[in-house]
Structure 1
Amino acid sequence: MYKKIVLGTATLLALFTLAACGQSSESKDTNNDVRTLTDAQDHQVKIPNKPKRIIASYLEDYLVALDEKPVAQWTVGEGKIQDYLQDKLNDIPTINYDMPYEDVLKFEPDLLLIGSNGSLEGGKYKEYSKIAPTYVVKNGDSVTWRDQLEDIGNVLNKEDKAKQVEKDYDQLVNQTKKDMKEQIDGKSAVVLWVTNNSAFMVAENRSSGQLLYKELGFEVPQLTKDISKKATADFSQVSLENLSQLDADYIFLVNSDSNAAMFKDPLWSNIPAVKNNHLYEFDGESSWLYNGPIAYTKMVESIRDDLK
């Protein structure tokens, strides 16, 4: 899938890196030019104290929250970007999600932040680390956006800013629970994503499920409990037949297929939340499919607007 950097380029990069370092790691550490941090894969990474050219593919939410801008932003193919961040990133060029070496090299980064262990399979870490210091951020099923925010905040010397972002978010959640007590207490909700005429439901302890059930306090529908037992990703596919038994008071629908045949099926129109006009719809450009402090903040704001 990926093209390899030719040996000559790698050699020149190595020489350039040595020249840029100029002095020993001990000396640089003493002068506070770099810090050595241990990442999620136990690499000892020399992090520049004030990185200027960061690539953090699919972690842009965290950078923006910490008042940083990457030199390139995540995309899948042509035009699939995180639209909800474009008020801050509209002038930032894209780099494909698989981060081809030549493209990374072209942007001349001074720091690479990697958001998942899986994206480094096949010896990619070694190749990336030839280009720039490469730090693997905390990741995995049990890692929350808060964990990642704090880790990135530490890398960027912005621990206090990360704590403030969390504090602001918690205040929003607490105020929402207080303001919307009547709409939330004893009411159940679910997040669905429809794409390619197929429906997917968010798991109880993942992504926006964590927000709905743990933070805001909505009840968990039985169908959500059932799919969560076997969930291996944020969203799990669910049949229309099973959806017809959904007993949720509210449905938050991320609709990436507005012409899906399933919306014309009586099984869909007879779902109680649909019949009762408690279906709240968002397009595929919303933040509901993503993770991070800005994504979650926008979700809470959407819930406030829809249920008020």
Structure 2
Amino acid sequence: MGEEYLKKNKILKVGLYIALLFTLFLTGCSNSNSKNDSTRNLKDSMGHEVTVPTHPKRVVGSYLEDYLVAVGVKPVVQWSVKNASSTQEYLKKDLKNVPTIDYSLPYEAVTKAKPDLILMGTDSQVQNGKYNQYKKIAPTYVVKNGTDVSWRDQFLDVAKAVNKTDKANDVLKTYDQKLKSARNTLDKKAANKSVAVVWVTNNSAFIVSDKSSSGSLLYGDLKLKEPSLVKEVSKKATADWSSVSLEKLAKLDADYIFLVNSDKGADMFKDPIWTNIKAVKDGNLFQYGNDSSWQYKGPIAYTQMIDNVLKDMTK
């Protein structure tokens, strides 16, 4: 009787031990799967292997805010210049109460933001050892960029990094429907009309490149006619906006001009050269301020610009 009891007791202990090991094994697998589910491995545009959060909560994406907001991600800081005096005002409602960060992204300011993911919009932002510094703060992903990268490609790459590709595709579908409708309207009411975007600040004029910012929308997406001066400036452009003299603007034969006016009291507006520019003389000059989307790019900016174009060109 005693031996049988001991034997059964021994078998019970062994069984409990095996059950305990099995439970620990399952727990380990569960923890491992949970860990794997919480991160994803991506390769960025510069070839960095980056382990990013599956659902990032605190994203720094300076000058990529349009893309982030469009897919429902509110960044923890927003791009600014000149001690926060200049921000992307057209996103003001979407970025309400979001603190600013200088466009140069100082390490201390980025660290203070406590990001769990840092998105960089250009290769130059992480050159000269900067990448290694930023990745010490949080996983750092350089999105597609460069003259050969369209805004759509960049938008989709940002969306991939924050795990919002499906949402981005929905945004583009809606945008393309709006674009198709706008093209049809413009073909009927403003066929073969040429347009240009001029930015005036500090009594100096700039023309947007045909592949950047609002130029990409007007000449690429909307297929509007590009004036010869814009083509000439774009061939030599090294930035989104190129300086152009008032004398050169005299050759601007655009039917319509969209003016981003950052200097309402500029002397150049009183100059006969300016007042005799074709679109100005014909009353087809449409002014927008720094709070507009005309200096930026992205589905939100472009949607607003399409509305502006339709309002001004189809009266």
**TM-score normalized with structure 2 length:** 0.87
Return the match for 2:232 from 202, 220, 226: 226
SS in 2 for 1:287: coil
Deviation string for 1:140-185 (max 9, x for gaps)?
Answer: 1111211111111111211111111111111111111112323332
User: In the TM superposition, what whole-angstrom CA distance separates every residue of 1:185-223 from its partner, at most 9, and x where no partner exists?
Assistant: 211010111111111111222221121122212111111
Q: 1:162 aligns with which of 136, 159, 168?
A: 168
**Which aligned pairs between 1:1-308 and structure 2 lie closer than 5 A?**
27=32, 31-78=36-83, 79-308=85-314
Q: Distance in 1 between matches of 2:78 and 2:232?
A: 36
State the distance in 1 between where 2:209 and 2:34 align.
Answer: 44
Deviation at 1:99, TM superposition (A): 1.1
- The structural deviation recorded for 1:139 is 0.7
Offset from partner CA, 1:11-54 (integer Å, 9 cap, x none): xxxxxxxxxxxx9xx94687311111000111100011011111
Name the structure 1 match of 2:9. none
What letter corresponds to residue 173 of structure 2 in structure 1? Answer: K
Letter in 1 for 2:44: D
Instruction: Judge conservation of contact 1:57–1:114 (CA < 8 Å) in 2.
Output: yes
What is the root-mean-square deviation of aligned Cα atoms in Å? 1.6
Consecutive unaligned residues of structure 2, counting only runs of 5 or more, are 1-27
Q: CA deviation at 1:258?
A: 0.8
- Map Cα deviations across residues 114-161 of structure 1 (whole Å, 9 max, x no partner): 111111123111011011000001111111211111111111211111
Secondary structure class of the residue paired with 2:183: helix
What does residue 8 of structure 2 align with? none
Cα distance between partner residues in 1 of 2:34 and 2:296:
36
Q: Do the aligned partners of residues 114 and 28 (structure 1) sit closer, same or farther apart at CA in structure 2, a change above 3 Å counting?
A: farther
Structure 1 residues 43, 28: closer, same or farther in 2, change over 3 A? farther
Percent same amino acid among aligned pairs? Answer: 52
Partner of 1:74, secondary structure, is: strand
TM-score by structure 1 length?
0.89
> Bigger radius of gyration, 1 or 2?
2
* Contact 1:139 1:148 survives alignment (8 Å): yes
Q: Distance in 1 between matches of 2:43 and 2:187?
A: 43
Q: Secondary structure at the match of 1:45?
A: strand
After superposition, the C-alpha distances for 1:57-99 in whole angstroms (9 at most, x for unaligned) are 1111111000010111111122211000011101101111111
Aligned length: 284
The DSSP-based 3-state class of the residue aligned with 1:47 is: strand
Aligned partners of 2:35 and 2:104: how far apart in 1? Answer: 36
